[in-house]
Structure 1
C-alpha cells in the first residue's frame, strides 16, 4: 500500500481532536526515537573514562575476591 503525504493529510483532516492529539504524540515519539538512534558514542571520548575507572574497578574486583575466598573456606569446614 503506497502512502502519500496528500492521502495522509486528507485522513488527518477527518480526525477528531482526541485522535489528532494521539497522532501528535505518535509523531513526537517517532522523532524522539529517530534522534535517539542517531546518537553515536565516540570511542576516543570513552577511552579516558575507561582508564579513569580501571583502578577503582580493579580494587572492587579484588576486594570481592577476598570475600569469595573466605566464603569458600567456610564451606569447606
Structure 2
C-alpha cells in the first residue's frame, strides 16, 4: 500500500475536528512550499572569502602596529 493510499484510508476514520486539523496542516504545508528556500552556501567560496578577509585583516593589523609604535615613541619624547 502506498503512502497516499494509507493516508486516504486513515482520513476515512477521522471525525470532523480531526479532519479540520488535517486541513489546517495541509494549508500550512502549501504555504511553506511557497516560501523562499533557505540559501545554500558554497563551502569553498566561504573558505576563500574567509582567507581573503583574514589576509586583509593581517595587513591592516601590521600597518596599525607600526603606527602605534611610532605614536608611543612620539609620546615618550614629549
TM-score by length of 1: 0.44
Task: Give 1 or 2 for the bigger CA radius of gyration.
Answer: 2
TM-score by length of 2: 0.43
